[in-house]
Structure 1
Amino acid sequence: MSFREILATPGIKPVLFTLWMAAFGFGVILPILPFYTLSLGAKPAELGLLTATFAFMSLVFSPLMGKLSDNIGRKKVAMFGTACFVVGYLVFAFADSLFLAFLARAIEGVGAAAIYPACVSLLSDLTTEKQRGKAMSLMGMVFSLGFIIGPAAGGLISAISVKDVFIFSALLSLANFVSINFQVQEPKEKEESTDIIGKEAGFLAHLTSPLLLLFMAAFMTSFMIGGIDSTLALYTSEKMGFSTPQVGLIFTYIGLLIMTMMLVSGELINRFGESRLILVGLILSGAGFFLLVFTHDWISILIPLAVFVAGNTMTFPSISSLLTKKVTAKRGTVLGLFSSFESLGMFAGPILGGFLYGIKHEYAFIGMAIVIWGYAIVFSLMSKKKLK
Structure 2
Amino acid sequence: MKEQSIQKAPLVILMVNMFIAMLGIGLIIPVLPKFMLEFGASGTALGYLVAAFGLTQFICSPIAGEFSDKYGRKRMIVIGLAAFALSQLIFALADQMWLLYLSRLIGGMGAAFMIPSMMAYVADITSVEARGKGMGLLGASMSLGFVIGPGIGGFLAEYGLRVPFYVSAAVACFATLASFVFLRETLSMEDQLAARSSEKKRENIFKQFAYSFKAPYLVLLVLVFTLTFGLANFEAIFGLFVDQKYGYTPKDISILITVGALIGVVIQSLLIDKLLRRFGEKRLINLSFFVSAVTMVLMLLSGNFWYVMLVCLIFFTFTSILRPAINTLLSKMAGKEQGFVAGMNNAYMSLGNIVGPSLAGILFDVHINLPYLFGAFMLLFSLLLSVSWNRRTKDKHITPAIQE
TM above 0.5: yes
Q: Report 1:288-307 matches (<5 A).
A: 288-307=295-314
1:135 match: 134
Code of the aligned partner of 2:305: W
| TM-superposition CA deviations, 1:33-91 (whole Å, max 9, x none) | 22212211211111111111111111111122122222222211111111111110111
Deviations 1:176-231 (A, max 9, x none): 11121222233359xxxxxxxxxx99524344312322322221222122112222
Gaps of 5+ in 1: 190-199
Partner Cα distance (2:155, 2:109) in 1: 28
Partner of 2:22: 23
For residue 280 of structure 2, what is the aligned residue in structure 1? 273
Per-residue deviation, residues 232-285 of structure 1 (Å, max 9, x unmatched): 111221222211111111111111121222220122123333333223222222
Structure 1 letter corresponding to 2:358? I
- The one-letter code matched in structure 1 to 2:330 is L
Matched, 1:259 2:265: yes
How many residues in Structure 1 have an aligned counterpart in Structure 2?
375
Q: Percent identity?
A: 27
CA contact (8 A) 1:218 1:338 kept: yes
1:175-190 → structure 2 map (5 Å cutoff): 175-187=174-186
CA contact (8 A) 1:274 1:319 kept: yes
In the other structure, the counterpart of 1:197 is none
Residue identity in the other structure for 2:138: M
Tell whether the 8 Å contact from 1:41 to 1:98 is kept in structure 2 after alignment. Answer: no
Residue of structure 1 equivalent to 2:215: 209
SS at match of 2:8: coil
Query: How far off its partner does 1:160 sit?
Result: 1.0
| Alignment correspondent of 2:191 | none
Instruction: Report what 1:174 is aligned to.
Output: 173
1:320 counterpart residue number: 327
Correspondence for 1:364:
371
How many Å separate the matches in 2 of 1:283 and 1:275?
13
**Within 1, Cα distance between the matches of 2:354 and 2:99?**
19
Give the equivalent residue in structure 2 for 1:120: 119
Separation of aligned partners in 2, 1:323 and 1:180: 29
Runs of 4+ in 1 over 4 A off after TM superposition: 5-8, 328-333
Does the Cα contact within 8 Å between 1:230 and 1:350 map onto a contact in 2? yes
Verify: 1:242 aligned to 2:267, yes or no.
Answer: no
Name the amino acid aligned to 2:40: G
Of 180-189 and 315-324, deviating more is 180-189
Q: Distance in 1 between matches of 2:378 and 2:187?
A: 40
**Counterpart contact for 2:6–2:127, Cα < 8 Å:** no
Residue type of the alignment partner of 2:252: Q
Q: Is the counterpart of residue 342 in structure 1 residue 341 in structure 2?
A: no
Work out whether 1:228 is the aligned partner of 2:234.
yes
For 1:143, the aligned partner's letter is M
Measure, in 1, the Cα distance between the counterparts of 2:202 and 2:289: 29
Deviation string 1:334-355 (CA, Å, 9 cap, x unpaired) is 4233212111111111122222
SS at match of 1:129: coil
Q: Is the 8 A contact 2:234 2:375 kept in 1?
A: no
* Structure 2, gaps ≥5 residues long: 189-200, 400-404
1:62 maps to a residue whose letter is S
SS at match of 1:159: helix
Scaled by the length of structure 1, the TM-score of the pair is: 0.89
User: CA separation in 2, counterparts of 1:178 and 1:271?
Assistant: 42
Contact 2:276–2:284 at 8 Å: present in 1 too?
A: yes
278 and 127 in structure 1: CA distance in 2 versus 1, 3 angstrom threshold: farther
> CA distance change for structure 1 residues 144 and 367 in 2, over 3 Å: closer, same or farther?
same
Q: Which residue of 1 aligns with 2:94?
A: 95
Distance, in Å, in 2 between the alignment partners of 1:55 and 1:323 is 22
Q: Which has the larger radius of gyration?
A: 2
SS of structure 1 residue aligned to 2:95: coil
1:276-287 equivalent positions in 2, closer than 5 A: 276-287=283-294
1:163 CA drift (Å)? 2.3
In structure 2, the CA distance between the partners of 1:208 and 1:34, relative to structure 1 (3 Å rule), is farther
Change (3 A) 1:327 1:99: same
Does residue 354 (structure 1) correspond to residue 361 (structure 2)? The answer is: yes
State TM-score, norm by structure 2.
0.86
**2:143 aligned residue:** 144
The 3 A distance-change label for structure 1 pair 211 and 81 is farther
Task: Indicate if the aligned counterparts of 2:232 and 2:357 stay in contact, CA closer than 8 A.
Answer: yes
Residue 40 of structure 1 aligns to a residue whose secondary structure is coil
